[in-house]
Amino acid sequence: MFLLSRQHLLASLLVFAVLIVGASFVASGVGVAAERILTVFFISLIAVVGMGVYSGNSGILSFGHLAFMGIGAYASALLTLPVRLKQATLPKLPDWLAGMELNLLSATLLALVLVAFVAVVIGLALGRLEGSAATISTLGLLIIVHGITIGWRDVTRGAQTFFGVPRETDLWWAAIACLLALIAARLYRDSVSGLRLRAGRDNAIAAAAVGVNIQRERLFAWVLSAVLMALSGALLAHFLGAFSPKKFFFTDTFFLLSMLIVGGMSTITGAISGAVVITLMTEILRRLESGFDLGLIEVPPIFGTTQIGIGLLILLAMFRKPEGLAGLKEWEERLFRSKQAEGVEKADLAKIAPDTKSLSAENLVMCFGGLVAVKDVSLTLKPGEILGLIGPNGSGKTTVMNMLSGVLQPTEGKVLLAKDQLTGMNSRQFAQRGIARTFQNIRLFTDLSVYQNVLVAALSTHDGEGADIRTKAALSRMNILHLATEDAGNLSYGDQRRGEIARALACQPSLLFLDEPAAGMNREETDQLMEILRQLSTDLGIGILMVDHDLKLINQLCDRVIVLNEGRLIAEGLPDEVRKEPAVIEAYLGKSKV
Ligand SMILES: Nc1ncnc2c1ncn2[C@@H]1O[C@H](COP(=O)(O)OP(=O)(O)OP(=O)(O)O)[C@@H](O)[C@H]1O
């Protein structure tokens, strides 16, 4: 499912087509050299866009994508190489491969299928890793595939040049493939999967807590990006006619990554800008590399001028524009405001069914190394009830909430929804079962709009049914529908807190956990929030568990309160009763009165 508005889609497709077709006509009019440069540019752009599909959307930089390009090149070349040449140069090829001689299109398609398969296998393992561990693993992939290519001499000719590949890639083949790659990458970026992955890039914990399966989305992007790399590799092999394993190793990884970094990883606009800048710079520096005459001074040849120049450009980009030339938005997103958030439906979130189950926790214990942060805490929360969880700083409130929402696995004890065991499940599974939450340290997806923040949650729960309506209803409930098109990272503190609650509400939860929802709000904002929360409970029947230090809020809003001190539950009951308990006065406020 694609979330791109028709206006954005048409604008981007039109510009891709005009740029590619226009440049191809100009280059073919200028001469063979220009045609060659543009063909290589298109092939490189497919690879840059391919890398961007994974790295840009997931936030995990990959050094290994050239491996897929290499596999695509060798696989397609082996399928198109003339049979007689295979017999002469690769006599030990298996019979079925030795006798096969396909055209470029069929060979490329088969190479893409092979690479997709390899990418699934590798991606399943890689998906378990986060951040720099994942990045380093992709480097391992590059080195392993390079090693196999060199070692598998009977098939690849080892470190020697693999030659005789029919030179069938011309400017127009490259142009068509590039156009398809750009369209695929643009559609992916604003697909349901792309949006979920970008949410996970901004904040993986929050994405999981609204039902996003980040590993699955990463795998999908990984495979799509590998297929685009293979397409680039197949075209390159049939453009060059001869190549060796080093074509798919560090040097080209550096060039392609520099395009992505300089242009900006997150957008197709960035991939195109980076590819244009680095290609132009390479062409200029290559001419200067062999030395030049400045009239009075003769500059001698300086080996490595191109790499040094590009390295400097990367440094400059990191200092001046760390998000790349294009930034975080596509050009058409900057130009035309999204209309997705318009057209408010007269709809509200559905009322919780009367037979909705209660959540109970039995004898929860949480140890962090030697520290026992929570000791034997039991509690229940019913739909329609507002339960306050209070206690001094460090008493274990957030830790309890983390265990009740699957963010942390208890060291001991159980979490049950009616009689169903939730212990051992992750936060995504909790969200799927109707338990949504906000965080003490706001965890919005800062690079997405407010609407997209909430939409991700709606799309990832209840099978995405009525996602748009749920999104708008949640935004209306929190009085922030007018901020829908703003970037979430630009909101005021209070609006960010409301945005987080709206995102949790879009999951259509039966139970809602709020960790210090009024922190940073002034009195008036806190009172408004109190009114909204009361209505959520009475109108919709949502059960609310709330941690807060604002005792006025807790006393006025909560039906019941439980108090923790040093990880232990020390009191439980009606707010008026609890505040009079000596243990609470002693532990929570010293000797003064609550
Ligand atoms: N991931 C962690 N690793 C180690 N210790 C932790 C971790 N999370 C919490 N703790 C410790 O557990 C104890 C309880 O922390 P927790 O954040 O649950 O308290 P809290 O009542 O929510 O505090 P506050 O009101 O300040 O938010 C504290 O001593 C804290 O330092």
pLDDT (mean) for 457-475: 94
What is the pLDDT, as a whole number, of residue 580? 86
Q: Is 402 in the pocket of ligand 1 (CB under 6 A)?
A: no
Please work out, in degrees rounded to the nearest 5, the angle formed at the alpha carbon of residue 399 by the alpha carbons of 394 and 402: 150
Ligand 1 pocket, residue 394 CB under 6 Å: yes
Q: Which atom in ligand 1 lies closest to the alpha carbon of residue 402?
A: 18
Q: Looking at the CA of residue 549, tell me the nearest atom of ligand 1.
A: 25
Percent of the residues in the chain that have a pLDDT greater than 70, as a whole number: 97
Cα(266)–Cα(53) distance, integer angstroms: 8
For the segment(s) 359-589, the CATH number from 3.90.1300.10, 3.40.50.2300, 3.40.50.300, 3.40.50.1820 is 3.40.50.300
pLDDT exceeds 50 at position 563: yes
| Of residues 465, 474, 456, 460, the one with CA closest to residue 348 | 474
The reply to whether ligand 1 has any atom less than 6 angstroms from the CB of 398 is yes
The model's confidence at residue 296, banded by pLDDT at 50, 70 and 90, is: confident
536 pLDDT higher than 50: yes
Q: How far apart are CA 68 and CA 70, in angstroms?
A: 5
Give me ligand 1 centre to Cα 408, in Å: 12
Helix (H), strand (E) at residue 263: helix 250-263
Mean of pLDDT values over 307-314? 93
| CB-CB neighbours of 322 under 10 Å | 10
Residue 5: predicted pLDDT: 82
Note the pLDDT tens digit of each residue in 131-148.
899 999 999 999 999 999
Return the pLDDT at 298. 83
- Which amino acid residue places its CA nearest to atom 6 of ligand 1? 368
pLDDT for the residue 340: 61
Q: Does ligand 1 have an atom closer than 6 angstroms to the CB of 407?
A: no
> Would you say residue 565 has pLDDT above 60?
yes
Domain limits, the chain? 6-247, 249-332, 359-589
Residue 40 has pLDDT above 60, yes or no: yes
Output the CA 394–ligand 1 centroid distance in Å.
5
Candidate from 372, 389, 397, 562 with most ligand 1 atoms within 8 A of CB, to mutate? 397
pLDDT tens for each residue of 426-444: 999 999 999 999 999 999 9
pLDDT at 343 over 60: no
Rounded mean pLDDT, 222-248? 98
Strands (E), 442-586: 511-515, 543-547, 560-565, 568-573
591 CA to centre of ligand 1 in angstroms = 24
Q: Please give the pLDDT value at position 288.
A: 84
Do 474 and 446 form a contact (C-beta atoms < 8 A)? no
In SS3 terms, 21-68 reads as HHHHHHHHHHCHHHHHHHHHHHHHHHHHHHHHHHHHHHCCCCCCHHHH
Q: Cα of 554 to ligand 1 centre, how many Å?
A: 20
pLDDT at 585: 85
Give 341 or 570, the one with higher predicted confidence. 570
Mean pLDDT score of the chain: 92
> How many angstroms is it from 368 CA to the middle of ligand 1?
9
Predicted confidence (pLDDT) at residue 591 exceeds the cutoff of 70 = no
Query: Alpha-carbon distance 258 to 60, whole Å?
Result: 15
Any residues with CB less than 8 A from the CB of 21 and at least 6 apart, and which?
A: 175
Residues 215-235 have a mean pLDDT of 97
Largest CA distance in the chain: 95
Please indicate whether residue 441, judged by its CB atom, sits closer than 6 Å to ligand 1.
no
Helix axes 450-459, 192-202, angle to 10 degrees: 110
Contact between 413 and 572 under an 8 Å Cβ cutoff? The reply is: no
User: Which of 585 and 372 is assigned the larger pLDDT?
Assistant: 372
Confidence (pLDDT) at 131: 86
- Asked if residue 178 has pLDDT above 80, the reply is yes
Q: Is 167 left (phi over 0), alpha (psi -120 to 50) or beta?
A: beta
Contact yes or no for 194/444 (Cβ under 8 A): no
514 within 8 A of 537, measured Cβ to Cβ: no
Q: Which residues contact 519 (CB under 8 A, 6 or more apart)?
A: 440, 497, 548, 549
Q: How far is CA 135 from CA 34, 59, 256, 328, in A?
A: 36, 10, 16, 21
> Is any ligand 1 atom within 6 A of the Cβ of residue 565?
no
Q: What is the pLDDT of residue 592?
A: 47
pLDDT at 589 over 70: no
Using the mean position of ligand 1's atoms as its centre, give its distance from the Cα of residue 96 in Å.
63
Question: Which of 179-183, 409-413, 582-586 shows the lowest per-residue confidence on average (mean pLDDT)?
Answer: 582-586
Beta bridge partners of 191: 2
ipTM of the assembly? 0.97
Residue-wise burial string across 57-68, b where 16 or more C-beta atoms lie within 10 A, e elsewhere = bbbbbbbbbbbb
Whether 339 has a pLDDT exceeding 80, the answer reads no
From CA 189, how far away is CA 302, in angstroms rounded? 41
42 in Cβ contact with 175 (< 8 Å):
yes
The response to whether residue 395 sits with its C-beta less than 6 Å from ligand 1 reads: yes
The minimum-distance atom of ligand 1 relative to the CA of 395 is 21
DSSP at 301: P
Q: Answer yes or no: is the C-beta of 329 below 6 A from any ligand 1 atom.
A: no
Predicted confidence band of residue 588 (pLDDT cuts 50, 70, 90):
low
Does residue 344 surpass a pLDDT of 60? no
> For ligand 1, is residue 373 a contact (CB within 6 Å)?
yes
* 379 in Cβ contact with 571 (< 8 Å): no
Going from the Cα of 206 to the center of ligand 1, the distance in angstroms, rounded, reads 18
pLDDT > 70? residue 91: yes
Partners of 182 in beta bridges: none
Over range 48-73, report the average pLDDT.
97
What is the best residue among 364, 366, 368 to mutate for testing ligand 1's pocket, by most ligand atoms within 8 Å of CB? 368
Instruction: Tell me, using a 6 A CB cutoff, whether residue 393 lines ligand 1.
Output: yes
In this prediction, residue 292 carries a pLDDT of 80
Q: What is the mean pLDDT of residues 468-473?
A: 93
Per-residue pLDDT, averaged over 288-316, amounts to 86
How is 364-375 classified by DSSP, letter by letter? EEEEETTEEEEE
Residue 594's pLDDT is 43
Cα-based distances in Å from 490 to 340, 373, 495, 503: 19, 35, 10, 16
Residue nearest to atom 29 of ligand 1 (CA): 394
